[in-house]
Amino acid sequence: MNILSKIDPLELRQALGNFGTGVTIVSTRAADGCPVGVTVNSFNSVSLDPPIVLWSLNKTSPSLAAFEQAGRFVIQVLAIDQIDLSRRFASRTPEKFGGVHHRCGLGGLPVIEGCTAAFECLTLEQRTVGDHILFLGHIEAFDQRHGASLLYCQGRYARGVSLETSAT
Ligand SMILES: Cc1cc2nc3c(=O)[nH]c(=O)nc-3n(C[C@H](O)[C@H](O)[C@H](O)COP(=O)(O)O)c2cc1C
């Protein structure tokens, strides 16, 4: 049992990792025009009406300035065949968008092709919470396509296997 005063950060991270998620790339465009993107699984829906989502970015991220400056972002939900993209955008590779098919979305932001869903958002609010910056975004446009989404649980990429015959 971990009590509050003795929390082991590694064990905490491992315990939190039991909560399975999808995998997204959050993108924007930097002031110099370069596309910017980061692999993120802190994405979640907050409100349907109005449509609001959230995600958080480590304060130390070199991509932070671009998200702050642009005031908008795109959440791309990755498909099962996009593990390589997830790895690439989780790395410090300088040219993450090199060879990545994308179109120009609202505000000129890059929207990566082949994802199961994309949500184009205007930043509603941005707030420092601990060692991360929390972003709340208003969805201005979205699209989706059929296909399995990539999952992430217990530190590993995974594929979802349905336990029911119809959606609940
Ligand atoms: C599956 C997965 C989920 C991640 N989720 C987040 C997240 O929600 N927030 C975050 O700041 N970093 C997250 N990361 C780590 C970033 O992708 C990684 O630090 C990357 O280098 C960030 O790009 P940057 O160097 O441009 O900041 C995640 C990594 C992986 C593999």
Which residues, at least 6 apart from 97, have a Cβ–Cβ distance to it below 8 Å? 35, 37, 110
Residue 168 has a pLDDT of: 72
Q: How many Cα atoms sit within 13 Å of 66 on the Cβ side? A: 21
Residue 5 has a pLDDT of: 73
Task: Identify any residues that bridge with 138 across adjacent strands, giving them in sequence order.
Answer: 52, 122
Pocket of ligand 1 (CB under 6 A): 23, 38-42, 56-58, 61-63, 90-92, 152
- Quote the ligand 1 centre to 50 CA distance (angstroms): 27
Each of the 168 residues of the chain gets a pLDDT tens digit; together they read: 666 678 999 999 999 999 999 999 999 999 999 999 999 999 999 999 999 999 999 999 999 999 999 999 999 999 999 999 999 999 999 899 999 999 999 999 999 999 999 999 999 999 999 999 999 999 999 999 999 999 999 999 999 999 998 877
Domains and CATH numbers, the chain: 22-155 (2.30.110.10)
Mutate to test the pocket of ligand 1, among 36, 40, 151 (most ligand atoms within 8 A of CB): 40
- Which long-range contacts link 65-68 to residues 24+ away (Cβ below 8 Å)? 65/30, 66/28, 66/29, 66/30, 66/31, 66/36, 67/26, 67/28, 67/36, 67/123, 67/126, 67/133, 67/135, 68/126
Residue 145 has a pLDDT of: 97
Residue nearest ligand 1's atom 5 by CA: 40
- Quote the ligand 1 centre to 41 CA distance (angstroms): 8
Residue 4 has a pLDDT of: 67
Mutate to test the pocket of ligand 1, among 53, 58, 83 (most ligand atoms within 8 A of CB): 58
Residue nearest ligand 1's atom 23 by CA: 38
- Quote the ligand 1 centre to 90 CA distance (angstroms): 5
